[in-house]
């Protein structure tokens, strides 16, 4: 017999790691001011794009001399635009400890055919950052590995006197973790992640040194228009003031502006980090109190406060992958937790999004149900 179902249900069962839960105050009527059916190059469209750029700068504390561009194809577009535009000038080190970082390795080694030094770690672990030569090499890494729940503990391993560039995929970190801008030359993220925005566009943040590289180096390979950040050896400044490369969704822009407003209402970046930390703590405490479930991230200092990945650690489990899927399915069927199965390339388990748009009270209501689903499944497989 399975245990009794808990009495309390989460008000919002959305714990997906992307697209993530909308801000708690969201409803579609909040997007009524969208500049729909208008040219994105008309003043109204350009002003909204500019507000999205400057709102990003304000909330994330991005220095005034860094460029912020809204680009096509979400975070993937922003990362690949950086790889294709900047790499090839110096030796490259690629760091990967989960699926997305591994994807960037494939891009660089197999597609761009760069003879990069590749450093990888298994899911749950992280590469030895002390071995990375950030002084001389271009280094590509993911701040928070969304599919393993492992993040870099800090940026102390990045030297201030570097000649190479740091290229950082920060899509599940931006708006939930402190990003030290002086250590990051290229930073990317997408709207669909921590602020619960709509998918479509990516954001690329460039340090002055990244701009210098763009203006002084031309890659050996051709660049499609969608990746081009320079023209005639000069940065296309318009991209960084709201004149996007191609047509953006003004509905997605409005939604992002709403999300930025909500971010302000919870205290900006500090408030967002505090919300994510409180959410992650609820899950960490749950793991500490139950010996059948464990954080996939082995070292506490690398534990994500957004994409918290868990594995089952109970000897009675016969087929780990089937078990984890069945638990997630039970929770989904009860409308308690949606989309919490581990990523398809990751070890069997669960992934619970803890970014700031999730309410801690919803996590606290959901976790007893996880115990219920676990026990029900143990009973079912017996």
Ligand X SMILES: Cc1ncc(COP(=O)(O)O)c(C=O)c1O
Distance, in Å, from the CA atom of 54 to the CA atom of 275, rounded to the nearest integer, reads 23
The answer to whether residue 172 forms part of the interface with ligand X (CB under 6 A) is yes
CB of 18 to ligand X, least distance (A): 4
Rounded to whole angstroms, the Cα distance separating 297 from 306 reads 12
Shortest Å, Cβ 190 to ligand X:
3
Contacts with ligand X by CB under 6 A: the residue count is: 13
Of 59-98, binders to ligand X (CB under 6 A) are 74-76
Question: Given candidates 14, 15, 16, 18, which one binds ligand X under the rule CB under 6 A?
Answer: 18
Cβ atoms of 330 and 3 within 8 Å: the answer is: no
Distance of closest approach, residue 143 Cβ to ligand X, in angstroms: 8
Length of the chain in terms of residues written: 382
Rounded least distance, CB 74 to ligand X, Å: 3
**Contact letters (x/-) for ligand X, 197-216, by CB under 6 A?**
--x-----------------
Nearer to ligand X, 85 or 190 (CB): 190
Give the residue with the Cβ less far from ligand X, 98 or 377.
Answer: 98
Query: Can you read off the two tokens belonging to residue 124?
Result: 């749950």
CB of 379 to ligand X, least distance (A): 34
Where does this chain touch ligand X (CB under 6 A) — which range of 164-172, 230-238, 258-266, 288-296?
Answer: 164-172
Residues 37-56 that bind ligand X (CB under 6 A): none
302 binds ligand X (CB under 6 A): no
**Which one, 6 or 103, has the nearer CB to ligand X?**
103
Which segment (31-39, 165-173, 320-328, 352-360) binds ligand X by CB under 6 A?
A: 165-173
Show contacts with ligand X in window 137-156 (CB under 6 A).
Answer: 142, 146
Residues 305-364 close enough to bind ligand X by CB under 6 A: none
Q: According to the 3-state scheme, what is the secondary structure of the chain?
A: CCCCCCCCCCCCCECCCCCCCCCCCCCHHHHCCCCCCCCCCCHHHHHHHHHHHHHHHHHHCCCCCCEEEEECCHHHHHHHHHHHHHCCCCCEEEEECCHHHHHHHHHHHHHCCCCCEEEECCCCCCCCHHHCCCCCCEEEEECEECCCCEECCCCCCCCCCCCCCEEEECCCCCCCCCCCHHHCCEEEEECCCCCCCCCCCEEEEECHHHHHHHHHCCCCCCCCHHHCCEECCEECHHHHCCCCCCCCCHHHHHHHHHHHHHHHHCCHHHHHHHHHHHHHHHHHHHHHHCCCEEECCCCHHHECCCEEEEEECCCCCCCHHHHHHHHHHHHHHCCCCECCECCCCCCCCEEEECCCCCCHHHHHHHHHHHHHHHHHHHHHHC
Smallest gap from residue 328 Cβ to ligand X (A): 17
Please state the closest distance from residue 192 (CB atom) to ligand X, in A.
Answer: 5
As measured in angstroms, the least distance from the Cβ of 189 to ligand X is 8
The answer to whether residue 255 forms part of the interface with ligand X (CB under 6 A) is no
Which of the stretches 24-32, 152-160, 166-174, 210-218 binds ligand X when contact is defined by CB under 6 A? 166-174
Which of 85, 166, 192, 305 touches ligand X by CB under 6 A? 192
Which residue from 15, 66, 97, 100 is in contact with ligand X, where contact means CB under 6 A? Answer: 100
| Cβ nearer to ligand X, comparing 141 with 262 | 141
Residues that bind ligand X (CB under 6 A): 18, 74-76, 100, 142, 146, 169, 171-172, 190, 192, 199
């Amino acid at each position: 017999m399975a245990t009794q179902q808990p009495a309390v249900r989460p008000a919002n069962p959305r714990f997906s790691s992307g697209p993530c839960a909308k801000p708690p105050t969201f409803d579609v009527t909040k997007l009524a001011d969208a500049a729909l059916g208008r040219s994105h190059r008309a003043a109204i469209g350009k002003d909204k794009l500019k507000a999205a750029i400057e709102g990003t700068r304000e909330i994330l504390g991005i220095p005034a001399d860094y460029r912020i561009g809204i680009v096509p194809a979400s975070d993937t577009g922003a990362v690949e635009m950086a790889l294709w535009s900047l790499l090839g000038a110096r030796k490259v080190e690629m760091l990967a400890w989960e699926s997305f970082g591994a994807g960037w390795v494939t891009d660089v080694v197999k597609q761009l055919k760069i003879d990069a030094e590749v450093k990888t770690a298994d899911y749950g672990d992280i590469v030895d950052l002390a071995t990375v030569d950030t002084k001389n090499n271009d280094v590509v890494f993911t701040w928070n590995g969304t599919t393993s729940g492992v993040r870099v503990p800090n940026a102390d391993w990045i030297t201030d006197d570097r000649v190479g560039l740091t290229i950082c995929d920060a899509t599940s970190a931006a708006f939930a973790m402190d990003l030290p801008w002086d250590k990051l030359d290229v930073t990317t993220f997408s709207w669909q992640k921590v602020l619960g925005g709509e998918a479509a566009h990516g954001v690329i943040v460039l340090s002055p040194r990244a701009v210098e590289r763009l203006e002084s180096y031309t890659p050996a390979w051709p660049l499609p228009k969608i990746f081009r950040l320079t023209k005639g050896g000069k940065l296309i400044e318009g991209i960084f003031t709201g004149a996007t490369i191609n047509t953006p969704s003004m509905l997605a822009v409005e939604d992002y502006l709403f999300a930025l407003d909500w971010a302000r209402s919870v205290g900006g970046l500090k408030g967002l980090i505090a919300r994510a930390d409180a959410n992650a703590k609820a899950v960490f405490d749950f793991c500490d109190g139950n010996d059948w479930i464990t954080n996939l991230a082995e070292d506490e200092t690398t534990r994500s406060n957004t994409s918290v990945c868990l594995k089952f650690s109970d000897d009675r489990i016969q087929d780990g992958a089937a078990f984890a899927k069945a638990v997630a399915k039970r929770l989904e069927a009860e409308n308690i937790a949606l989309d919490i199965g581990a990523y398809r390339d990751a070890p069997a388990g669960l992934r619970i999004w803890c970014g700031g748009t999730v309410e801690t009270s919803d996590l606290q209501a959901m976790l007893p149900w996880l115990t219920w689903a676990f026990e029900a499944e143990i009973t079912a497989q017996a």
